[in-house]
Amino acid sequence: MSQTKAPLPFDLTEPQKMLRKMVRELAERYVAPRAAEIDERDEYPEDIYKLLKGHGLLGIFFPEEYGGGGMGFFGGCIAIEEIARFCSNSPLPIVLNMLSSRVIDLSGSPEQKKHYITGLAKGDLRGSYALTEPHAGSDAGNIRTRADLEGEEWVINGQKAYCTGPDKADFITVAAKTDPSAGTRGITYFIVPTDTPGFSIGRHERKMGMRGVSTCELNFENAAVPKENQIGVLNKGFKTAMIGFNQMRPAIGSRAVGLAQGCLDYSLDYAKEREAFGVPISQHQAVQFMLADMFLDIEAARLLVYRAAALVDAGKIGKENARYFSAAKTFAADMAMKVAIDSIQVLGGAGYMKDHPLERFMRDAKQIQIVEGTSQIQRIIIARNLLDL
């Protein structure tokens, strides 16, 4: 009796396969040769930004109505993963477009969406995002940056920390307290152009990894923006931001998957060439087990990320699915760190040297465990979601 073959879970569509092939070829040709230099020189890869812009990848996940590629977050994750196989810095222009647009996309006005999302999608605008402060990271309700309505303007005062890429941004999506006594129920988001008087970029952090895109302090001293730069309903920004983070977590997870895949690819090639005790080290069971474990973990993480991305594109981004978004980010981030460490072990002493990319991958992997909510915070989210707390 004949049976109809069902599609495999997350089997890529033809457009998705074509996207993966195109991005992989671009990454191999243009990103791979630049990856070590980007890290070594500690400077923004403007050439990579232009490459992504020229091939429509900056807006690959945005709807076509805003000038995007219409391939959803799943398509965005595919592109991020393929680029991250060679360089964790290089997909960040796509990630920052996702991050800076989330609150606008979810609760912005039609005018805000048309101007900012279209600008990001076409590469005419660059955005950044600011929530964290020196004394408030995961505890978002403790932010102290204030926004006070004075006539027709919101006047913002405060300081932000660990903001990614603000020195290249045209605008920053900024969280501020509009009701200081209300905790998370008193947060509103604002669009702050970087040429706003009273806004300035402070210290550029000296980082262990992810050195190709800046991380900076931001200062707001009576920085005034028009009332129309308020995003969404007054004091409702926190809930919208949390939904936006749900959308972002598979994107961060895809960076981790790409990084880990790059480590495995490099380890496989090295293990086939390096000899010990008269044979390639790939013939030693100890090395084979390490390679097999890398593969197992990467495949599991990839499926978690794909499931989360599919939920985003299906619009199922609420609290009821928070466990899946956090699981994708957490498992992938922790997996990438483990794979990076093990890949160095496969190379032995050579893996510790900058002649090989694995020490760079390890430094970059550590950032993924921290950014967009640490692995520990994600586990709290998962547990509370399971327990319906």
**How crowded is residue 40: how many other Cβ atoms within 10 Å of its Cβ?**
12
CB 377 within 8 A of CB 252: no
Question: What are the φ and ψ backbone dihedral angles of 172, each rounded to 5 degrees?
Answer: -130, 135
CB 156 within 8 A of CB 147: yes
Find the distance separating the first CA and the last CA of the chain, reported in whole Å. 49
Could you write out the three-class secondary structure of the chain? CCCCCCCCCCCCCHHHHHHHHHHHHHHHHHHHHHHHHHHHHCCCCHHHHHHHHHCCCCCCCCCHHHCCCCCHHHHHHHHHHHHHCCCCCCCHHHHHHHHHHHHHHHHCCHHHHHHHHHHHHHCCCCEEEECCECCECCCHHHCCCEEEEECCEEEEEEEEEEEECHHHCCEEEEEEECCCCCHHHHEEEEEEECCCCCEEEEEECCCCCCCCCCEEEEEEEEEEEEHHHEECCCCEHHHHHHHHHHHHHHHHHHHHHHHHHHHHHHHHHHHHHCEECCEEHHHCHHHHHHHHHHHHHHHHHHHHHHHHHHHHHCCCCCHHHHHHHHHHHHHHHHHHHHHHHHHHHHHHHHHHCCCCCHHHHHHHHHHHHHCCCCHHHHHHHHHHHHHCC
Among all residues, which ones are annotated catalytic? 372
